[in-house]
Amino acid sequence: MKYVLFYEPADDVLTRAVPHLEAHQALLGEFHARGELLMVGTFGDPQKEGSMSVFATRQAAEDFVRRDPFVANGIMRAWRILEWDEVLVP
C-alpha cells in the first residue's frame, strides 16, 4: 500500500512558490533520504492540474503536509491523501 498526496495550487503558483522553493526542496530531500517519499512531480500544467507525491506511509504524507512551506504559506489551495494499492502487471 502507498499513499498519494495531491496538491491543488492557489492562483499564481509559479511566482508565489519561488521564495519557498528552497525550503520545500529541502523537505522533499529529507523525506526521500529516509525512504518515505518515493516519487514527486507536477502534472503537465502545474497551475491548472497541480502535483502529486507518493509516500510509503500515510503518516509520512501527513507529516510532510504539516511541515511543507507551500501549505503553510497558502501556495497550495487544497490537498488530499489517497490510499493507493500498487498493482504490478506481469
Domain boundaries, the chain: 2-84
State pTM to two decimals.
0.93
Given this model, what pLDDT does residue 7 score?
98
Each residue's pLDDT tens digit, 43-88: 999 999 999 999 999 999 999 999 999 999 999 999 999 999 989 8
Length of the chain: 90
User: Rounded to whole angstroms, how far apart are CA atoms 8 and 70?
Assistant: 11
* Inter-residue contact 55 to 40 (CB < 8 Å): no
CATH tag, 2-84? 3.30.70.1060
Each residue's pLDDT tens digit, 49-60: 999 999 999 999
